[in-house]
Amino acid sequence: MAGLSLLDWALDGLLALLLLWLAWRALASPELFRAVVLFIAFGLVLALVWARLYAVDVALAEMAIGAGVTGALLLAALVRLEPPIGRGRQDARDGEVYDHD
């Protein structure tokens, strides 16, 4: 029983530290693409944390919306922020101004 509880503590502690570390890395990363990928990883670990807290509904929503759809939206926004380089796209339309401020 004590061993199981110790394992629980180790798992929860690892998840909490991982969550904080991912959050810090996502915020501190100067490279936006890396920050978005870290944010998605953060969402997945957060879903695990919700599942550990027996909030399976929240875990499902976090994984699908927080990590999945928001990550895709952020990546789509990132593509719009940067002038397309390579990738064989031709979407630098007239009248669209890319501002980096």
d(CA 63, CA 46): 8
Q: Which residues bind other proteins (CB under 8 A)?
A: 30-33, 56-57, 59-61, 64-65, 68-69, 72-73, 76-77, 80, 82-83, 85, 87-92, 97-98, 100-101
Question: Which residues, in sequence order, are CB contacts of 38 under 8 Å at separation 6+?
Answer: 22, 25, 26, 29
Least CB distance to other proteins at residue 79 (A): 9
Residue 7 or 60 having the CB closest to other proteins: 60
Residue 14 or 81 having the CB closest to other proteins: 81
Least CB distance to other proteins at residue 2 (A): 23
